[in-house]
Amino acid sequence: MNKWKKKPHTTPKPYKRPALSGGGFGGRSGFFLARAVTNIRQNIFVNVVTIGTITLALLIVSLFLLVFINLESAVENWSERVQVTVYFDKEPTVQEQSSLREKISALPEVSHVGYVSRDEALKRFKKRLRGQETLLDGVRPETLPASIEIALKQTYRDTMSVENFVISLKRIPAITEVQYGEEWVRRFNSFITFARLLAALLGGFLVIAVVFIVSNTIKLTIYSRREELEVMSLVGATRFFIRAPFLLEGLIQGIAGAVLSLILMFVLFELFLQNAGSFLTFNPADSGLSFLPIEYICGLLIAGAALGFIGSLTSLKRFINV
Amino acid sequence: MIQLHNVSLAYQQDASALSNINLKIGKGEFVFLTGPSGAGKTSLLRLLYAALTPNRGQILIDGQNISRMTAPQIPLLRRSIGVVFQDFKLLQNRTVFENVAITLEVLGWGRGDIGKKTMYMLKLLGIESKYNLVTQRLSGGEQQRVALARALVNDPKILLADEPTGNLDDANKNQILNIFKEANIRGTTVVVATHDRRLIEQSHMRLVTLNKGEIVEQVEKETAYDAQAL
């Protein structure tokens, strides 16, 4: 006979039921964390797939953000060219100059005022025609007008504000001729508006796609373990007890995905900086391209954590109904 | 311990799975539920561990009306009930030890206590040497014992078993029956759904026969053997 049948007669001493370990999340957080880590180890394949999906998804988002941020800073540089110039037929006296500068500076839109004398104007002209200075041999400073160049604050660089500014500028006596490249400002601003709209639209679609893909991946991983959810429920686990390890697992997956995507993004960015010089007309290392600022990095980490956590939460709601 | 008053259950509006069931099972009793397939045995068990709610009637378990229980109260009820499922419901990629320990983890036991109690239970069922094997590598009889260990490790007040000897040979059937009896001796109320005539005849326990969702016959303990012999 097998030895099993004899066992009941040598019954071990009845076991005294021990006291429960701490209740609530505080008392069991260690257990939940251990459970989550064990789950990840035991379901390594689905976890690798999930983390990989989150990594790729966030990589796309961070790439988008990186391009967006660098374009924004480029746009900021370009918009500095939105400049209003006041021309004078006669060169104003030093007193006139300072009183005009004062009046112009008092306008709220102005960020910087610079006076360009006739000599200065000729110098600039020559600089522009470098190599063919001889063309300007007969030109004397008096043939060029003196001017005041006005740079505008960033918020006043759109078409409407520039036009309004010019109107208020013309109210100052002694200012007659004002130029600001209307056509260029208008085109530039409508391009910026269009580009921002396009970026918002693309970004929106991207976020929707990412949320959809990640939540479906998580749903599949939880679906593959629905038996475990059922068994836990049948042996008397509370909803919270069933969910907590899965939520922690989602959180870990999300953060791991975000960290991996940022590392990958950084490596790609550095590689681009080092190698793009050979196929681009400018050297990106000197062009002021920057990596994501720290707020965006934190934002992506939080987004990853939230994706994992909320994805798990909504999927669990579907499968725990016992 | 278990009382059912006029309990009816219908999965769909026309087909009723159980109708007008009145049943009292006392503390420490051992009851067989029998009847042909589709008689409502499994449905009755599922009502008892609150996986289903009856359409009509009241179910009292240990004085608590489970038809009126809120969702958070159900887990607490289930902790005092051990269930052995027809299809075992073991976690296939987990070890024998983990499958049994899950019941105690849910209760919040400490790691050391879980280890001791789980190994004690596995020893009692004669599968302690397999504790580190994943359950999909076990034979049917061994899986059955793991399912039993999981149901009993918590010393439940009630043990429900659905066709626990479904595909076992005679030696294994006897061993399983002995485990039920021992649990019963330790004070657990045992309800076993089966259509295995031999198992019922050997055990001389109370017998409730269902047919088409109704109780058609009840035979009290001790006379059960004679009744079947007739």
pLDDT band at A166 (very low <50, low <70, confident <90, very high): confident
A121 sits in which H/E element:
helix A118-128
**B28 contacts B221 by C-beta, under 8 angstroms:** no
Q: In this model, does residue A26 exceed pLDDT 60?
A: no
* Cβ-based contacts of A23 with chain B (< 8 Å): 108
| Whether ipTM exceeds 0.90 | no
Q: Which of B168, B103, B64, B155 is nearest to A232 (CA)?
A: B103
Cβ <8 Å between B83 and A234: yes
Q: In this model, does residue B65 exceed pLDDT 70?
A: yes
Highest average pLDDT, of A94-108, A308-322, B107-121, comes from B107-121
- Alpha helical stretches, state H, B41-80: 41-48, 73-78
What pLDDT score does A284 carry?
Answer: 58
> What 3-state class would DSSP assign to B228?
helix
Q: Which of B131, B150, B128 is nearest to A231 (CA)?
A: B150
In this predicted structure, which of A168-182, A273-287, B135-149, B157-171 has the lowest mean pLDDT? A273-287
Q: A232 in contact with B at a CB cutoff of 8 Å?
A: yes
Work out whether strand B30-34 and strand B189-193 pair parallel, antiparallel, or are unpaired. parallel
| Rounded Cα–Cα distance for residues A264 and A55 (Å) | 9
What pLDDT score does A321 carry?
Answer: 60
Please give the distance of CA A305 from its chain centroid, rounded to a whole number: 17
Q: Which domains does chain A have, with CATH numbers?
A: 27-77+190-275+285-319 (no CATH), 83-179 (3.30.70.3040)
Q: Which of B99, B96, B154 is nearest to B129 (CA)?
A: B96
Q: Which residues contact A155 (CB under 8 A, 6 or more apart)?
A: A161
> What CATH number is attached to the domain comprising B98?
3.40.50.300
Mean per-residue pLDDT of chain A = 81
Q: Which of B99, B106, B157 to mutate to test the interface with A (most CBs of A within 10 A)?
A: B106
* Cβ-based contacts of A234 with chain B (< 8 Å): 49, 51, 78, 83, 85, 89
pTM: 0.71
Q: Which pLDDT tens digit goes with each residue over A204-249?
A: 998 899 888 888 888 888 888 888 888 999 999 988 888 888 899 9
**What range defines the domain where residue B186 resides?**
2-229
Please give the full DSSP string across A35-104, using - where no structure is assigned. Answer: HHHHHHHHTHHHHHHHHHHHHHHHHHHHHHHHHHHHHHHHHHHHHTT-EEEEEESSPPPHHHHHHHHHHH
Q: Which pLDDT tens digit goes with each residue over A273-285?
A: 887 767 766 665 5
What pLDDT score does B5 carry?
Answer: 93
Provide the domain count of chain B. 1
What pLDDT score does A297 carry?
Answer: 92
Residue with tokens 């007309």: A281
Q: In this model, does residue B111 exceed pLDDT 80?
A: yes
Q: Which pLDDT tens digit goes with each residue over B9-25?
A: 988 766 778 989 999 99
Q: Which pLDDT tens digit goes with each residue over A102-131?
A: 888 888 888 888 888 888 888 888 888 877
Cβ <8 Å between B89 and A234: yes
Q: What angle do CA A8, B184, B165 make, to 5 degrees?
A: 75
